Every structure is written in C-alpha cells, then in structure tokens.
Amino acid sequence: MSGTATLPRVEVSTEDDGSVLICHSRRDVPLVFMEIQTPGGRSSEPPAQPGLAGLAADLLAEGPQGTAPEAWRRKTEGLAAEITCAARYDHWAARCECLSEYLDAACDMLKQLVARPGLPRSEFKRLVKARRASARENWAQPMSVIRHLVAVQNLGFGHPGAHPAFERAYRRAAYGPACELATGAFTRGAPVYALIGGDIGSEAGFARLREILAAMPAGGAGAASEPPVAPSVAPVWICNNAKVDQAFFALGRQGVRAGDAGRVALRLANYVIGAGGFDSRLMDRVREEAGGTYGISSRLDEKRVASPFTINSYTRVDRLREMLGIVERSLREVCTEGVTQEELESARGNRYGTLPLRLTSPRAVLSRAAEGLRAGLSPAELESDWRAYRETSQEAVNAAARRLLGDLRFRLAVIGPADAVRDQLRDRGDCEVFGFGLDPDRWPRESP
C-alpha cells in the first residue's frame, strides 16, 4: 500500500436533540442505503425472555399501521427495495436499500415504518414458529452451540452478550411483551444514529434523515443498564454429546469493551494470537504443524457491554488433551517471549491494508462510522486508529497480548462424549457436565 492511501469519508451532523446523522456519498452505483439506529435491541429483553427482541423486530418489519402485511410486502418488493428491522445486541435498526430512482417512495416507506408500526397480531404466531424452526435446527449443530456455551460460561445467562434464544423461549413468547418492546423501539427519547449513503449528496441525504426522524414518536427510555457479569464458578463445562467423534472446545476469559484506549495494540495482538487465520500463531501450531484441526481462531469482540475474549476450535476426541496442550504452550510463549518482529509486520500490514478493502460499499462505511461514534470515537479517531496500525510498537503489542491472555487461566467449554473428554481434563479443576440438548437457561449458574 502506498503511504497516501485514504479511507472513505463520512460527513456527520449532530442535531439539537442529540441525534447524529451520518452520510457517505458515492454516486457511481444507483443505490441508496439508509438505516435508523436507536438504543435497545437485545439488551432491552427481560432476562427470562431471550429472543423477544428478535420477534419484536420481526413484527416491526411486517409494515406500518393501515397497510396489510401482504400489501406492504408487495409494495416493497415491487420497488425492489429491501426494508428490514433487526434487534442487535445494543440497538434497534430499521434499514432500507433501494434503487435511487425509487428513493422518494422507499424513504416514505421507511418513515411510515418507524413512525407508525403496525405490529399485526395476526402474524405473531407465524413469526414465532419460523423462529422456533430455525432455533431447533441451530441448537442441534455443535458448531453453533459452542459459541453460546463460551459466552454464557464467561458472562452468565441473561447478560446482553450471553442471552441466546432457543426454541422453548420462543414457544413461551407472548404478543403483548413483544409488542411493548417493538412500540418503544423507534422513538426519539434517546440518542438516535441515522445513516444514509450511496447515490445521494450529503445535503439531500441529511434532509431525508431529518424528515424520517421528525416522524418518529417522542419518548423511550433507551437501553437498559448492563447487568453484572456472572461467570461460572467451575472452570470447565462439558456438554455431553455422544454422537460426535470430535471435541469442540472454546477457551474464554474477560475481554475488552468498545473504545478501549489500547484497542489498536489489542487488535494487533489478537491477530497474531489467533484472529489472523493462517497468519496466526495458533493456526500455525495447531493446524499447520500438528494437523490437529481444520480451524482455530481467537475472537476479540469490542462491544459496549462486556464480552469474552475466546479461542475456538475442534479436534478428534482422543487428541483433545494434546491440542489443548499445544494451544496453552503457544499462548504461554506469546506471554513470555512476545510476538516476533515478523508476526508484528504481518499484523500491521494486514490490519492497515485490509480496512480499505472492507469499506467498499456505503453500508460498510456507514456501519463502521456509526459503530465508532456509538463507542465515543470521532471519525478522525477512526482514521488515526487506522494509521496507528503501522506505528504501534512491539512493546505495546506484547503488553496488549499479556493483557488479553492475563494469567493464562481460561474457562474451558467442551462439546463431546463426556467420558472420553473428562478423562483428558482431570487436572483442570471443577467440572460441570450436562447434556447437549439442555436449554441454556438451565446451564450451570454462578452459585455453586
């Protein structure tokens, strides 16, 4: 990459009521993308009702008051517009992407949707059933379950970062509470982030967004406060699944939050440890040298709520102990010897070079800008973070790696045949064993 590379620019306008408007104009493709983000989403779910926010978003997407869901679908699809609603971990999102020639109509439709949601009771049972079917299929796949397992083990069930929805939770969901969540979703009581980009200039874009925001009802409490983290007492969870001949494992410990002052060095350290694919230490040792797995990776979420730093992989059941040994040796080496100059150069090159490649659509550019702004970072700081990838010192990255890995004590979650797995984990302290089909609200809790 040349030294003069630049990131796509966004324009930001902060309104009198605190709403933040973001625009990224790109006129060569005849599409416009818009998104309205309000605080809440999954973090506003009652602890006993995981999945309720997803159902509320589904209800919202069924169209505005006064338009039958069927007519709404025909109208949006007739314009080739995609209008969707989603419940993300800390915010709601209403999104529209359309051909620019239909912008007037699509904009009007998005406005109607957030201003006067229809929330048709007649659709609720169908939406529940659709979610139930997906959950039933997902919870049968070990690769899906292991991700939930490590989150719940490290944060405690009910935390916004560990509140997975499952079939029984959907089955007991009721229209009233879902409707209540949906009704409060798009209101102007708390900071709203409004995004527009693509084939539109900033002045016209901001005017469109102001028009939509003005139509939104006032009120809304915003996001609920974050509950305390309640990690498991037992350092090892074994989720017994006798039908698999591999052990799916995840190591986890507390991670960092969005906007962390050391974020650039932490991302570089995470890249070297396990997020860098074939370029990472773990992939090199576990897959390339030992042939122990097809994939291993580390993950450092930067959310506004607590989230774990995790390492995920799988291996033949009888090689679990050996692979965990290799993983832990590799992590210890990172802690004691630090990252090599070559690893650092790779991480710097990748993190710096990859960002412009990922920001090729207005949606990607705007999403990143909004994510940064919600974490309290200005567009200038996002740009300076990017440049800092090439300047962060080896010492800073080593310190960040030590911070991520801490005392190397990780909680360990494993899915596999319990007997064969337990034998290999005898020296790892207390161990909770439970069945693969057990719902997550019945997984072990904090109190012993």
Partner 1 sequence: MPFIVAEDHAVPAAAFGIWARAGVCDEPSDRRGIAHFFEHMMFRGSEKFGPKEHTRLVARTGGSCNAFTGFDQTVYHQTFPAVALEQMFELEADRFRWLKLDSDSAAVEKKVVLEELRVYENQPVVRAFRRLVREIGGDHPYALDPLGRREDLDAITPEDLRAYYRRLYRPGNVFAVVSGDIATDRVRELAERHFGSWSDPADLPEAGRPPKFLPATGARSERLSFEVPLTARVHCLPPSDQLDHAGLELLLALLADGESSPLQETLVKKKRLCVHAGAHHFKLLHGGVLVFYGAFLPPGKHAVRRGIIREVCERLAADGPDVEEFEKRLRRFRKRRAAESYSVHKRMLGLGEAQLLEGSYLNYEVALEDLAAVTPERVRDLARVLFATENTLELDIVPEKTRWWMPLAGLFMRIWRR
**Contacting positions for partner 1 (CB under 8 A):** 1-2, 5, 26, 28-31, 69-70, 73-74, 77-81, 97-99, 125-126, 129-130, 132-133, 136-137, 140-143, 243-246, 248, 276-279, 284, 287-295, 314-316, 345-346, 349-357, 360-361
Find the shortest distance in angstroms from Cβ 399 to partner 1: 23
Find the shortest distance in angstroms from Cβ 348 to partner 1: 9
Q: Which is nearer to partner 1, 187 or 293 (CB)?
A: 293
Q: How far is CA 215 from CA 202, 209, 261, in A?
A: 20, 10, 37
Can you tell me the distance from the alpha carbon of 21 to that of 361, in angstroms, rounded to the nearest whole number? 18
Find the shortest distance in angstroms from Cβ 361 to partner 1: 4
Helix (H) or strand (E) run with residue 302 in it: strand 302-303
Q: Which is nearer to partner 1, 79 or 421 (CB)?
A: 79
Q: Which is nearer to partner 1, 48 or 133 (CB)?
A: 133
Find the shortest distance in angstroms from Cβ 197 to partner 1: 11
Sign of the CA dihedral running 423, 425, 430, 436: negative
End-to-end CA distance of the chain: 54
Find the shortest distance in angstroms from Cβ 219 to partner 1: 31
* Bridge partners, 34 (sequence order): 96, 196
Q: Which is nearer to partner 1, 103 or 305 (CB)?
A: 103
Find the shortest distance in angstroms from Cβ 419 to partner 1: 17
Find the shortest distance in angstroms from Cβ 96 to partner 1: 12
b/e 88-108 (16+ beta carbons within 10 angstroms → b): ebbbbbbbbbbbeebbeebbe
Sign of the CA dihedral running 66, 70, 71, 75: positive
Tell me the one-letter amino acid at 153: Q
∠304-306-312 over CA atoms, to 5°? 115
- Taking each helix axis from N to C end, the angle separating 341-358 and 379-388, rounded to the nearest 10 degrees, works out to 140
Q: Which is nearer to partner 1, 19 or 280 (CB)?
A: 280
- Torsion angles phi and psi, residue 300, rounded to 5: -120, 100
The answer to whether 188 touches 60, Cβ cutoff 8 Å, is no
Q: Which is nearer to partner 1, 55 or 98 (CB)?
A: 98
Q: Which is nearer to partner 1, 17 or 82 (CB)?
A: 82
